Amino acid sequence: MKIAVYPGSFDPITFGHIDIIERAVTLFDKVIVTVSQNFEKTPWFTAAERCEMIKDSVSGLANCEVDHFKGLLVDYVSRMHGTAIIRGLRALSDFEFEFKMALMNRSLAEDITTVFMMPHARYTHVSSSLVREVAGLGGDVSMLVPDHVARMLKKKLA
């Protein structure tokens, strides 16, 4: 069974993330979308809230699971019997960081492959931080995130 792990902060999940997940499930037998700890970011939502938003977003995908973890990604992927890490690239500016991370992960676990995927062109400008900024300033994010996520953003800001 080919298992891929799609890690991220998903704070919150966006249509760009969902686009990548929907295509990844056609390439792998199982895709585990996992909320990871990022020491450089202060999340708006708890890991449990982010997992809930992701589960609601991917509920129609039979071979997709949602989880969260702390620690080294390659250790988590190995525990889950994964063979691949999925990373999204929106723009060339993402590539340098992601390339370095892929090389580091490969040096830590030679048997795990990083697969880069691009979202649909209509989502290349969308990021979770941009969604939070627009929502925080009272803007409409309905074209960037599913309805249930927009509602959670409103609730968080209330």
Give the number of domains in the chain: 1
In the prediction, which pLDDT does 51 show?
Answer: 97
Q: Is residue 40 assigned to a domain?
A: yes
Residue 69, domain CATH: 3.40.50.620
Is residue 120 part of the annotated active site? The answer reads no
Q: Is residue 34 assigned to a domain?
A: yes
Is residue 2 part of the annotated active site? The answer reads no
Q: Could you tell me the residue range of the domain that residue 87 belongs to?
A: 3-124
Annotated catalytic residue, options 90, 106, 148, 156:
90
User: Degrees (nearest 5) of the Cα angle 143, 146, 148?
Assistant: 135
Q: Average pLDDT in the 84-97 region?
A: 89
Q: Is residue 96 assigned to a domain?
A: yes
Write out pLDDT tens, residues 51-81.
999 999 999 999 999 999 999 999 999 999 9
Is residue 17 part of the annotated active site? The answer reads yes
Overall pTM surpassing 0.75 (yes/no): yes
Is residue 151 part of the annotated active site? The answer reads no
User: Is residue 38 over pLDDT 80?
Assistant: no
Contact status, residue 57 vs residue 25, Cβ threshold 8 Å: no
Annotated catalytic residue, options 41, 100, 120, 154:
41
Higher pLDDT among residues 123 and 91, named by residue: 123
Higher pLDDT among residues 97 and 146, named by residue: 146
Higher pLDDT among residues 145 and 41, named by residue: 145
In the prediction, which pLDDT does 10 show?
Answer: 96
Phi-psi region of 10 (alpha: psi -120 to 50; beta: other; left: phi over 0): left
